[in-house]
Amino acid sequence: VGKLYSIGVDIGGSKTAALFVDEDGEMLAESSFPTDSGDGYEGFLKRLLEVLERAFAGGTKPAGIGIAAAAQVSRSGNGILDAPNLCFSHVPVCADVEKAVGVPACIENDVNAAALGEYSVRDNPREPFLAVFVGTGVGAGIIVDGRIYHGFGGYAGEIGHIPVEPLGAVCGCGARGCLEAYAGGVGIGRRAAAAVGYGRAPILADLLGVALVSALNLLAPGTLVLGGGVLDAYPNMAEVAGAYAKSEALPLIAADLIVERSSLGPRAAALGAAKLVASKRSA
Ligand SMILES: [Zn+2]
């Protein structure tokens, strides 16, 4: 068994998970607790610090702590900005953790972290590496040269807001016809209800496939990974969408594309967060 090297923390809407890994990225242990126990950020921080301090009780402190959050995060890496899915927002969680435990902490959006996690468990993954996650929301992470590609302002990978139906359903972002309005966890409920009304089957996999074609033709990735809670629960949807995308993308782009399912499932973001520590240190 290796020595504790880094800790990846995944702050989700209902649950926060901590993953303890060694130098080789092998998982040593994991722990989780409810994100919201009705006591806000103070209570959350207290529970998180308890988990971290228990891990340090053996005497070893890690090189760093990576935090993934279902939130917009500060590009300077200090904390959580807007977080509609969390019970707190605008909190300097990295600074608070660093101050309390004396270990450097960094933060990343959970989808980007999950993409890094999926990337890190593959041998020589082909790049660009595109990982698309369909859960409550729909998002993608892009890895280039072993690092998360953020785009100019930090918001690359918003595949959930690629329109798939002109003048379609209004999305949470305010635009019409976004993929996320149909294929995310929230959209699926609405879509299923509409399908019953119109007497036709939901075509979620098709809409996801259509958005994937756009992403593939623009980015020409070497690897496409499909994951997230919805696709893990409905593997057929991933199969259909992946096959559609590969057959409809430009043949020269599709020819060398590897399409795979997520191999980490719900642990992807926490493992990616743990990997973030090593990638920051080598930067
Ligand atoms: Zn949208």
- Tokens representing 166 are 């002109």
* C-alpha to C-alpha distance for 92 and 106, rounded to whole angstroms: 11
**Residue 273 CB contacts under 8 Å (≥ 6 apart), including other chains:** 8, 9, 10, 19, 66, 67, 68, 108, 113, 117
pLDDT of residue 201: 41
pLDDT of residue 52: 95
How far apart are the CA of 172 and the centre of ligand 1, in A? 6
The yes-or-no verdict on residue 195 having pLDDT over 60 is no
Least confident of 47-61, 115-129, 140-154, 219-233: 47-61
How far apart are the CA of 169 and the centre of ligand 1, in A? 10
* Average pLDDT taken over every residue of the chain: 91
- Which residue carries 């020269």 as its tokens? 252
How far apart are the CA of 81 and the centre of ligand 1, in A? 19
Confidence band (pLDDT; 50, 70, 90) for 183? confident
Confidence band (pLDDT; 50, 70, 90) for 90? very high
How far apart are the CA of 269 and the centre of ligand 1, in A? 22
pLDDT of residue 189: 63
* C-alpha to C-alpha distance for 15 and 34, rounded to whole angstroms: 4
How far apart are the CA of 156 and the centre of ligand 1, in A? 14
How far apart are the CA of 182 and the centre of ligand 1, in A? 10
pLDDT tens, 39-89? 999 999 999 999 999 988 878 899 999 999 999 999 776 899 999 889 999
CB 20 within 8 A of CB 29: yes
Count of C-beta atoms within a 10 Å radius of residue 170: 12
Paired sense of beta strands 129-134 and 138-144, if any: antiparallel
pLDDT of residue 198: 47
How far apart are the CA of 36 and the centre of ligand 1, in A? 26
How far apart are the CA of 188 and the centre of ligand 1, in A? 14
pLDDT of residue 202: 52
How far apart are the CA of 137 and the centre of ligand 1, in A? 10
How far apart are the CA of 58 and the centre of ligand 1, in A? 46
Half-sphere exposure (Cβ direction) of 39: Cα atoms closer than 13 Å: 8
How far apart are the CA of 174 and the centre of ligand 1, in A? 6
How far apart are the CA of 87 and the centre of ligand 1, in A? 22
- Reference 105, options 140, 60, 141, 74; nearest CA is 74
Q: DSSP secondary structure string, 34-89? A: ES-SSSHHHHHHHHHHHHHHHHHTTSPPPSEEEEEESS-B-TTSS-B---TTSS--
Count of C-beta atoms within a 10 Å radius of residue 137: 23
Q: Residue 20: beta bridge partners?
A: 7, 29
How far apart are the CA of 178 and the centre of ligand 1, in A? 5
* C-alpha to C-alpha distance for 160 and 173, rounded to whole angstroms: 10
Q: Dihedral sign, CA of 86, 106, 160, 230?
A: negative
Confidence band (pLDDT; 50, 70, 90) for 205? confident
- Tokens representing 123 are 């041998």
pLDDT tens, 151-167? 998 899 999 999 999 99
The yes-or-no verdict on residue 190 having pLDDT over 70 is no
How far apart are the CA of 255 and the centre of ligand 1, in A? 30
How far apart are the CA of 124 and the centre of ligand 1, in A? 33
CB 97 within 8 A of CB 52: yes
Average pLDDT over residues 90-107: 96
How far apart are the CA of 138 and the centre of ligand 1, in A? 10
Least confident of 79-83, 93-97, 195-199: 195-199
Name the range with the highest mean pLDDT among 48-57, 172-181, 209-218: 209-218
How far apart are the CA of 177 and the centre of ligand 1, in A? 7
pLDDT of residue 282: 62
pLDDT of residue 192: 57
pLDDT of residue 101: 95
- Tokens representing 236 are 């057929």
pLDDT of residue 199: 43
pLDDT tens, 248-260? 999 999 999 999 9
Q: DSSP secondary structure string, 223-282? A: EEEEESHHHHH-HHHHHHHHHHHHHHS-HHHHTT-EEEE-SSGGGHHHHHHHHHHHHHHT
Task: Return the DSSP state at 160.
Answer: G
